[in-house]
Amino acid sequence: MRDAPCQTPENPPREKGVPVGSIDMEDSAVRDRVMELRSLRISPAEVASRFGASGWVVDTVPLVLYCAQFVVEQPLEVVIAQAIEGGGDTDTIASITGQLAGTAAGVVSDYERHFSTITEGDEVIRIAQHFVDFICELEEETVRTGA
């Protein structure tokens, strides 16, 4: 197992403490799709129908991010159900949507009890909270810049 990612001219080392979102992303089909979906206000099922819901990363990642964003407006169970309603590779899409949206929604006390029985469960909760903080910072930046 590697301690750090491979560093190449295409993958230079990041400065410690610099969030990934603050580094310019290379042009990619995934990034382009995410950017296209940012301004839409349609149902996840319509996004899946219009853009695809296969297991291909260009379909999956943008759709998952689109679905997961609704956790600020709807219960986690509804967000996951909407991800499934889109059809396609539902197990992958719903699983990743649930992971991201669940992280953003936070851990209810019952889950904390379950994590306490897992070796290093507190570390899982710490990492999840760090991810939530990162997503919140991105959202605040988006609101601030209007992007």
Separation of alpha carbons 90 and 81, rounded Å: 10
Q: Are residues 33 and 64 in the same domain?
A: yes
Domain contains 3: no
Any domain includes 75: yes
pTM: 0.60
Evaluate if residue 23 carries a pLDDT over 60: no
Q: Is residue 82 part of a domain?
A: yes
Domain carrying residue 113: 107-147
* Lowest mean pLDDT, pick from 18-22, 40-44, 63-67, 138-142: 18-22
76/117 same-domain check: no
For the chain, the domain total comes to: 2
Whether residues 79 and 125 fall in one domain: no
* Range with lowest mean pLDDT among 77-86, 104-113, 127-136: 104-113
Q: Which residue has the tokens 């407006």?
A: 73
Look at residue 120 in the predicted model and tell me its pLDDT. 86
Assess contact for 47 and 66: CB atoms under 8 A. yes
Question: What residue has token string 């969030």?
Answer: 19
41 and 71 share a domain?
Answer: yes
Q: Between 76-85 and 57-68, two packed helices, what is the crossing angle to 10 degrees?
A: 150
44 neighbors 67 (Cβ within 8 angstroms)? yes
pLDDT of residue 144: 85
Residues 129 and 101 in one domain: no
5 within some domain: no
Residue 17 pLDDT class (50, 70, 90 cuts):
very low
Contacts of 62 (CB under 8 A, 6+ apart): 30, 33, 34, 36, 37, 51
Does 4 reside within a domain? no
